[in-house]
Structure 1
Amino acid sequence: MNEVSISVIVPIYKIEAYLSKCIDSILDQSFTDFELILVDNGSPDNCPHICDEYASKDNRIKAIHKEHGGLLSGRKEGLKNAKGKYVAYIDGDDWVDKFYLDILFNLAEVNNSDLVVTGHFREFEGKIETVKPSYSGVFGEDEIKSLILPKAMYNGAFCEHEISTYVWSKLFKRELLSEILYEVPGEIVMGEDAAITYTYLSLSKKLTISKIPLYYYRQRHDSILKSIKDTSIEFYRLGVLKNFLKVKLSPFLNKDNLSTQILYYLYSMILVRSGGLIHDASGKVIFNPFLKAKKNSKVIVYSSGSFGQHILSSNSKSNFFQIVKWIDIDFHKLNIGDNFVEPLSSIVNTEFDFLIIATINPSAFKSIKAELVLMGIDNNKIVQINTDEKEICSLFGQLGFHND
């Protein structure tokens, strides 16, 4: 017999400035039949004390302290201590709407679903963007296998997922999650959410997708800009992810479909993490994904989000492009090296050769491009990202990904 309906698991590491807001939003839920498992993942700041303090005041809260072992290990430790019928993961620097658990639970129970997927809000520098699935509905096992899973990681438009990778903004059945979570290799640091979500999806017999956004994802500068210190380790970890997905999903997908999905998913991750420009061990650029833009081109970078920051950081190492300006419609104070974010109105057509829109999402790219053209930006100067499958395969060969 389950003691509670939902086990809410919050992995915690170096987020003391945000943790109380996260916990308070969970304790304020309209739905009360839950336990809250706070997993202190060896945090060196005040997070352990915050966890213990909350646990001492509310018997629904369990504080667990462990040595630091990465986000995945925190999620595993939380599940080991969970007793709920369902599991909801919430990151400790995010927060949720008052009716978050209530709606998740109802969607799962009414539709007898193994997995519930919802929309979310993205908060960045005080501005909030609504992100919703492209469709909603209830899908049975046959539809999951034939319609959802073949497009889960790559739906034909680079880079769009049929099902988002995040484990947050979802509700899992604890027993089914226990079948797959402990098998996810600890070496997977990037893409651990995808390893969990897509493997779990392949075993699900009923899926419910809702467009209702109730989860607030906080995108922070200090969590975005993480440079690749050792590319060999980084690519090895992605190789582990590739092989795990290949082994777990091959019983459900044909070889070509699975290879294409994994290829584009890993490519998108490599682009964002590397800042687009791929360097070899000596620092030489071996792959430039920005079509038309050549070495020494005068470039404007649009967007100060994750990809934009990595482009600036990566280019500062090789000086491949001459970055003449960094702009964003969401103007705020931020600088990398000698480049400061400037408002959209500061662009002058004659000062640059090409403009890079720093997004790998094609829908976002089209929307931003249309707005830039309205502002008088030369359409021919806005560059696309190279998505040629043969060239991406060649890149992966150079990086060693064809060697299992």
Structure 2
Amino acid sequence: MAINKTTDNKNNFLVSVIIPIFNTDQFLSETIESVLNQSLTDFELILINDGSTDNSGNICQEFMRNDNRIKYYYQSNAGVSAARNLGLTCATGQYIFFLDSDDTIDREFLETAYVVSMYQDNDITILGSYFCNRNVPIPALPTCAQFLKRDFLESYKDIQFPKDIQPCEDGLFSHQLLALTSRIGENPKAIYHYRKHENQNHIKINQHCDRILIQIYQWRAILEDFYVKYDLYPEKNLHLALFIQHEPFELRYLGMPFDEEQRYLLHNLIKCWAFLLIQNLTKQEIKMLSKPFLYFISTDTPTDFERFFKKYRYWRRVKKNILLFLIRFIVVKRIRRNLRQKITADFRKDEDMMHAG
């Protein structure tokens, strides 16, 4: 599909791709090339060097000399949030996408994201089949799943990536934006290639449970200030409850190796944060929350919950295996295939939790 150059003087490019960079010289060339090889060519590529001490800066400058769509900026090391925020101030595209400096995107990624966003007039387009197929309203997104309209971001300049917060800097950023608009679309065709390696942030994060626990208190303070400022209680109570379920409960409590004292502190924090929100939800809204999360906030101690959760995981696996076994006896191949896909999708969220736990 041919996409013409924009004639809007306010927006110089169709898309601004922002890459924060810190010591990823072994992957960076491939990442940049995946952008330069896009089927959509009307973009700018903003490279933010966050104080790298390896060869990343030289790689960026070499690419910049050969392509006038590339902008390069250097800042003393201040973290990924500061780098992304700097990129936002430099962006001129109609839409914004953040790419990690060790990942790559499929050749049609920007084009399909732009076409969907433009024709649906989305403020936020959710990218990738995994995130588009979630069963409940999404309370937060990683940067790889966000395609953002710059005019929308300009309307809420106070919403930025929180400095000195990691993980969840992207979750906090996206959660606030998702709460401020109903113009949200989906593009499951956007294919993002996530690179796994030993220096990834999530591996380092698991080694610092004490720091993460302190930051979760900061998450709460940031969001409580935001909800009060924009007068979002009680209209967005479910949105916030889903965030608490996903980020501090599923990804952190279930997914990180906290010691006993830390688990007690986090258990109490999540209970106190979520309890009043849930009291003000309708029965239909409560059904959108997971059974493990609802049980978690009703328990007195982490031990009570973990005893329940062990049994819960076991019986969910048994139920799934029984259902998959029974559909083998369905004669019609198409029906059998569709049921298998539905069962797999229905159990996907719980399987993610089990993997985290």
Which of the five TM-score ranges fits, normalised by the shorter chain?
Answer: 0.5 to 0.7
Q: Secondary structure at the match of 1:274?
A: coil
**8 Å Cα contact 2:140/2:175 also seen in 1:** no
| Other-structure match for 1:247 | 225
Match among 163, 166, 172 for residue 142 of structure 2:
166
Match among 253, 266, 270 for residue 271 of structure 1:
253
Aligned length: 274
| 1:158-307 equivalences in 2 (<5 Å) | 162=138, 164-178=140-154, 179-180=156-157, 183-223=160-200, 224-226=202-204, 231-249=209-227, 251-254=231-234, 257=238, 260-265=241-246, 266-271=248-253, 274-275=256-257, 277-280=258-261, 287=302, 290-291=306-307
Deviates more, 1:79-88 or 1:262-271: 262-271
The reply on whether 1:117 has 2:126 as its aligned counterpart is yes
Cα deviation, 1:367-391, whole Å, max 9, x if unaligned, reads 699xxxxxxxxxxxxx8999xxxxx
| Other-structure match for 2:347 | 363
Q: Which has the higher strand share?
A: 1
**8 Å Cα contact 1:202/1:249 also seen in 2:** no
Q: Secondary structure at the match of 1:260?
A: helix
Q: Which residue identity lines up with residue 291 of structure 1 in the other structure?
A: R
| Other-structure match for 1:133 | 132
Q: Which residue identity lines up with residue 252 of structure 1 in the other structure?
A: L
Q: Which has the higher helix share?
A: 2
* CA-CA distance at 1:94 after TM superposition: 0.8
Q: Secondary structure at the match of 1:32?
A: coil
Q: Secondary structure at the match of 2:132?
A: coil
The reply on whether 1:69 has 2:75 as its aligned counterpart is no
Cα deviation, 1:142-184, whole Å, max 9, x if unaligned, reads xxxxxxxxx9xxx4xxxxx625511223211123224246544
**8 Å Cα contact 1:290/1:384 also seen in 2:** no
Cα deviation, 1:350-374, whole Å, max 9, x if unaligned, reads xxxxxxxxxxx983476699xxxxx
Q: Which residue identity lines up with residue 203 of structure 2 in the other structure?
A: L
Distance across 1 between alignment mates of 2:356 and 2:307: 6
* CA-CA distance at 1:213 after TM superposition: 3.5
RMSD across aligned positions (CA):
3.5
Q: Secondary structure at the match of 1:177?
A: helix
Report percent identity of matched pairs: 23
Q: 1:184 to 1:100 in 2, by over 3 A?
A: closer
* CA-CA distance at 1:102 after TM superposition: 0.8
Q: TM-score, normalised by structure 1?
A: 0.59
Q: Which residue identity lines up with residue 174 of structure 2 in the other structure?
A: T
**8 Å Cα contact 2:79/2:164 also seen in 1:** no
> Which consecutive unaligned segments of at least 5 residues does structure 1 have?
121-130, 136-150, 156-160, 295-360, 370-382, 387-404
Q: Which residue identity lines up with residue 347 of structure 2 in the other structure?
A: S
Distance across 1 between alignment mates of 2:133 and 2:198: 28
**8 Å Cα contact 1:11/1:39 also seen in 2:** yes
Q: Which residue identity lines up with residue 249 of structure 2 in the other structure?
A: Y
* CA-CA distance at 1:84 after TM superposition: 1.0
> Which consecutive unaligned segments of at least 5 residues does structure 2 have?
1-8, 267-300, 311-344
Distance across 2 between alignment mates of 1:118 and 1:44: 32
Q: Secondary structure at the match of 1:172?
A: strand
